[in-house]
């Protein structure tokens, strides 16, 4: 029984390590999205396959809540990679062999707070 528990724990830790390596990046969406000047900055290693980036949030002053802006329109595509939208946020994937800075821009909304658009750009540095 003890061997089975150790095997299960080893599998779980190994799976978490692989998942983190596939989408490891550090950074922030930054500020200024409400005024149209959002400035996000992220860094990732060239060994990483992709960079997961959370949705920006709309502050609903009436309800005193923060709501993810999940409807994303790419207004400027990255030059050296691609960006996709998932249920959890954006995923930036650099072109094979790319290192350096790549920037893309988005306009983000949510049906939960109609009439509000957050926009700005995100720069990802691949090292």
Residue 60 contacts residue 113 (beta carbons within 8 Å)? yes
Looking at the domain assignment, is residue 83 inside a domain?
A: yes
> For residue 124, what pLDDT is reported?
98
**CA nearest neighbour of 42 among 21, 23, 20, 27:** 27
pLDDT band at 2 (very low <50, low <70, confident <90, very high): very low
Indicate the average pLDDT of the chain. Answer: 84
> For residue 85, what pLDDT is reported?
96
Residue 38 domain boundaries: 23-126
What is the tens place of the pLDDT at every residue in 64-91?
Answer: 899 999 999 999 999 999 999 999 999 9
Provide the domain count of the chain. 1
Looking at the domain assignment, is residue 12 inside a domain?
A: no
Looking at the domain assignment, is residue 41 inside a domain?
A: yes
| Contacts of residue 105, Cβ cutoff 8 Å, sequence gap at least 6 | 74, 75, 76, 119, 120, 121, 122
Looking at the domain assignment, is residue 18 inside a domain?
A: no
Looking at the domain assignment, is residue 13 inside a domain?
A: no
> For residue 23, what pLDDT is reported?
59
Looking at the domain assignment, is residue 118 inside a domain?
A: yes
pLDDT(61) > 90: no
CATH code of 99's domain = 2.60.40
Looking at the domain assignment, is residue 9 inside a domain?
A: no
High-pLDDT (> 70) share of the chain, %: 81
Looking at the domain assignment, is residue 10 inside a domain?
A: no
What is the tens place of the pLDDT at every residue in 37-55?
Answer: 999 999 999 888 899 999 9
Q: How many angstroms separate the Cα of 87 from the Cα of each of 12, 20, 28, 52?
A: 23, 18, 18, 11
> Rounded distance, CA 2 to CA 58, Å?
48
pLDDT(95) > 60: yes
Lowest mean pLDDT among 23-27, 49-53, 92-96: 23-27
């Amino acid at each position: 029984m003890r061997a089975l528990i150790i095997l299960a724990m080893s599998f779980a830790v190994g799976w978490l390590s692989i998942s983190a390596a596939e989408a490891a990046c550090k950074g922030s969406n930054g500020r200024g999205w409400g005024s149209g000047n959002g400035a996000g900055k992220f860094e990732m290693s060239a060994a990483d396959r992709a960079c997961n980036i959370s949705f920006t949030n709309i502050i609903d002053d009436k309800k005193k809540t923060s709501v993810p802006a999940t409807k994303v329109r790419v207004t400027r595509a990255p030059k050296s990679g691609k960006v996709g939208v998932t249920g959890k946020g954006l995923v930036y994937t650099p072109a094979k062999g790319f290192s350096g800075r790549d920037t893309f821009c988005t306009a983000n909304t949510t049906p939960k707070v109609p009439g509000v658009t957050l926009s700005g750009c995100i720069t990802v540095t691949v090292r």
